[in-house]
Amino acid sequence: MSALTEMTDILLRHAPGDGMHATRIAGLQIMRSASPTVSVPTVYTPMLCLVAQGRKQAMLGAAAYLYHPQMYLVASVDLPIVGSVIEASAAQPYLCFCLDLDTAVLSDLAINHPELVEPRRDAAQAGLLLNHSTPQLQDAALRLARLLDQAHEIAALAPLIIREVLYRLMADPANAVVRQMAIADSRLNQISKAIAWLREHYAQHFSIEQIADLSAMSRSTFHAHFKTVTSMTPLEYRSHLRVQEARRLMLAEALNAADAGFRVGYESASQFSRDYARILGVPPARDAQRLRASGQDATEAA
C-alpha cells in the first residue's frame, strides 16, 4: 500500500461525512467533500493543508492557488480566502489533512537549529504558500495520521511528530515565509499584528496610519508589505472580512441583506451589495436564498 493510499484510508475512517472534522490530535483536522462545491469564503488561519485525494482551488484576492496530492498549501497568517473543491465524488471524496502551525514550536526550532533561521526578516513574503510535497513531509504526516488509530500513543508521540512536520516545512529552502513565522520582529509578524486588529475591529472605521502604527511601520511601508502578505490592501481585507461575516449572519440569524450589511459596518446598502458581488460573484440576497435552499454551510476551510 502506498503512503498516499494509506493516508486516504485513514482520513476516510476519521471523517465519515462531508465537512470539517476535529480529531483526537490537538490542532489536526480533516476536511472531506463528496462533491465539487461552489465558491465559499472563509478565513484560513496559520496551517498546513496536505491533500490526500481530490483537488481544491483557493482564491486570495486575484491570485489562484490549486492544490492536490502532489502539492501542499501553507497559510502563515489569517487570510480571507474564497475556496472551492473542484475535484471530488462520492467514490473518491476530496480529503485534506489540516494541521495548525504552532508558532511556539516554530520559534523553538529556530532557537535550537540556527540553520533554520530566515536571514531575510525585513523582506515580506506572500502569506499563502503553495509548494511541492516531499517524501519526508508526507512520511511525517502519515505517521501523525496513523496515531488516530492508536489513541493511547497520541499524548506521547503526537507532539514529537508535529515538531518533525514543522521542521520539514522550515527546512525547505522555498519556505521562507514559514521561517519568518518563527521570528518575532519579522515583517510577516509585524503585519500579523495589524491583521489581528482588523479581524477584531472590521466593523469600525480606521485610518491606515492607525494600523501602520500597530506594525511599527510608516504608512507607505506598511501598505506595501500588507499587500505583499495578503495580496490586497487593508481596506480590501476589511471588505472581505465584512462580507464573510454578513454572509454568516444572513444564514445563522436570518438577517436580510441590508441589516447584515449594517451589522458588519456598512453605512450604504448599495456599497455592501457591490462589495459582496465583487468578492463572491453574486448579490447578497440571492446568495443567501441559494444557500438556504441547498442547506450548505456559510463557511468552510482547507
Q: How many residues does the chain have?
A: 302
- Cβ atoms < 10 Å from Cβ of 110: 18
Residue 99 near residue 145 (C-beta atoms within 8 A): no
H-type helices in the chain, by residue range? 3-14, 103-112, 135-146, 154-171, 176-181, 187-201, 208-214, 219-230, 234-252, 257-263, 269-280, 284-294
Q: How far is CA 125 from the centre of its chain?
A: 16
Please name each of the domains of the chain with its CATH number.
Answer: 3-181 (2.60.120.810), 236-294 (1.10.10.60)
Return the sign of the alpha-carbon dihedral for residues 98, 102, 108, 114: positive
Mean pLDDT of 234-260: 94
CA distance 124 to 108: 21
Residue 138 near residue 3 (C-beta atoms within 8 A): yes
Q: How far is CA 48 from the centre of its chain?
A: 8
Separation in Å, CA 194 to CA 37, 66, 208: 32, 27, 10
Would the pTM of this model clear 0.75, i.e. be above it?
yes
Q: What does the pLDDT look like over 60-83, one tens digit per residue?
A: 988 999 999 999 999 999 999 999
Mean pLDDT of 100-124: 88
Pairing status of strand 63-67 against strand 94-100: unpaired
Mean pLDDT of 159-166: 98
- Residue 185's pLDDT is 85
Q: What does the pLDDT look like over 179-216, one tens digit per residue?
A: 999 998 899 999 999 999 999 999 999 999 999 999 99
CA distance 269 to 253: 18
